[in-house]
Structure 1
Amino acid sequence: MQRRKVTLKLYPNAAQMARLEAWTRLHCELYNAALEERIDAWRKAGKSISYYDQQNVLPQIKADRPEFVELGSHALQQTLRRLDLAFQSFFRRVKAGQTPGFPRFKSAKRFSGFTYPDPAGWKLMQHGGRGTTLRLGSGDAALSIRARGRHRFGVEAKPNDITLTRRNGQWFVSVTLRVPDAACARERTGDQRRGVDFGVTDWATFDDGRTIDNPRWLRVDLPKLAALQRQRARKKKGSLRFKRIGRRIARLHDRIANLRRDFVHKKTTCMVQSCAVLATEQLAPKNMSRSAKGTVEAPGRRVQQKAGLNREIRSAAFGMAHPMLAYKAEEAGTRLHLSHTRQLKPSQRCSACWEIVPKTLSQRMHVCPHCGHTAPRDQNSAMVVLIDAHNTQDTPGTGVAARPKPRPRQRGKSKFLTRETPTTAPSGA
């Protein structure tokens, strides 16, 4: 059995939406009260309160506050567990020497939602096609909310837990499914061996020269986004019009994110279905999109140009593409090879003679001075990672930079001329 997650959009009516909002406020109140209890216990008595200490108080809370009863015991426990996970992450960062973020109080408007951690207190009913009904609670007080969406796993998939989230005035439910291995399998239609290089100019370039255009969803809507942000800047902060334009900006960002996610899903699915071997390099989008601002003592150079490049790198969603390729390749039986970028240096290595040819980012053609091989830079990188995948096929996914030929002999450093190392051999030798 494997676990997969599917997200459905909810369509509650006005009364149901008001009830969901009220439930979210109660979960937020419980979260903030549990956080305050932990802070006060440590500040006043030096005592640490665990998740189990707070969980054991839930029956008394429901007896004093009857409105918490309809939320469900397991959902309330998950809210307390959510706070406990925040504290665990805080202490882990402290021990690792990182910059920790102490758990903060949350407002009801910014509290994302709540979770049912097991198949109790809710039921998901499919009506064929995309029609779905989510039932929360039991008895006369239960909510039956219409939902839209479907998954590809069929009737064999069993719901395990759900998370209801609120985003920009809309409600969504993320369902975790327990799926048999056979239902997860994808049908592969081809047995190609392809190397692919992800980039900004072209979203993907294959070793045979084929490319996938970068749709640049953010750049297309950037003028509209900038106009809305200028309108909001002219409004009084916190006013009705300020909030109204803020919701329009958030909806526009959601539209861009949905288009990007849909594009990446479709292209990665086509890749794994048509390839038996798919090779690419490991990417670190966080490092690639690092700011060039620098510090006061050492200010950066070409900061605005680097900021524009960072925006395009994030918009290309490389960090989203690789995880999708990983689990889809496993489902389709495709071998996914991730070459180690710093060891292999695909953009600087010649695919014909395997020599390092340094290039700047602006040089888009690979011209090897050693063997004369010429190819587009991204295509040459795709050929390099494919060769690396072929030479490391016994250890898939290790990313070790294999070389088709031995490394050239390194010229040793010249020795200093000293008394102990004379320039001429002694006579009679």
Structure 2
Amino acid sequence: VFQCDGQYIPLPSLQGIAVLNIPSYAGGTNFWGGTKEDDIFGAPSFDDKILEVVAVFGSMQMAVSRVIKLQHHRIAQCRSVKITILGDEGVPVQVDGEAWIQPPGVIKIVHKNRAQMLTRDRAFENTLKSWEDKLKYEKYDACKPAFRPHLYPQQSVDLATEEEVTLVQQCAQAAEELITRICEAAKTHSLLEQELAHAVNACSHALNKTHTKFPESLTRNTAIEIACNVKALNNETESLLVARVPLQLDSPHEELLSNALHNVEVELRKLAEIPWLYHILQPNDEEEHSLEYAKRHSRSTMFRIVPKFKKEKAQRHKTSPQPVQKWGTDEVAAWLDLLSLGEYKEIFIRHDIRGSELLHLERRDLKDLGITKVGHMKRILQGIKELGKNTPMFDV
């Protein structure tokens, strides 16, 4: 039961509630929307003596909370909060990093006093770091005037030119579009969230530095950070789509994600024409070998993203003309190969798992077989689910 200033408030379907007295969370994250005042809520502030109560819908929301147009929900603004925990089980509670299980009872949160807080001066820190970098290079250059490192650290403290700023902004826009498409596809395909959450977070944080009041003040040091993070996100996404697993996405998601990834690659090639970014953005021998190997062994020159159900149908015809219930161990092994999980073929063959048994496997059965990786279990269960959907009724 949830109350704000004595008023009962119905809650939506959510996983948690955050009560804040500052306009940000977890190092600057604003996961409930904008920072401006509207018809219902006032602008979040740290000195208005008002608590901000917001909903947390899940880990996906928290992981990509810096992405624009993220789902958010502000519950209330009030001076006191009362939460009544009913039932026999406790709920997890965390205050300033300390977490525990709170048994059933009543939790009261009241804005009582204000204290002086220390804040970081980002502008001063950046200026000081640039000055220190310049001193380090001048001292180093005095000892070895003929040596020039690949990344040209003396240029990192200089401002980018107008043309270079334009190229960086275009690359940032393409990366933001790619992040948006990844988030949309991840809502129905959890593997994308598991594999790309870290890269999306790091890239989003770097891209925030392009949204400044004075774009012409973009330093080469910041541009290098943006380029490195965009390149990392591009490589991880491409590696996942090309080499690791055959994803099953709806046609709109497939086309939008592929187009967004292609646009990022185009913009990165443009950035690589900038001399001081060339050594960062050019692919090294290991990257070229791994991606080339993946593309040679993929089933087409396109990414292995195929429309949902079309791929399953093609796999069934290619694997065996028989219904799934009549599959033998060889057909089941071939199906595992199509899921890029061939390392489990011997386990399935040793336990004589045929098509009829395959359709009835559950999570606990996979654990009994020795499959412990969560991602692999999800892919097998999703594949079984798709097989069941495409099985004719008269064969059941």
Name the TM-score class by shorter chain: under 0.3
TM-score normalised by the chain length of structure 1: 0.21
Which structure is larger by alpha-carbon Rg, 1 or 2? 1
Relative contact order: is structure 1 or structure 2 higher (C-alpha 8 Å, sep ≥ 6)?
A: 1
Larger strand proportion, structure 1 or 2? 1
TM-score normalised by the chain length of structure 2: 0.22
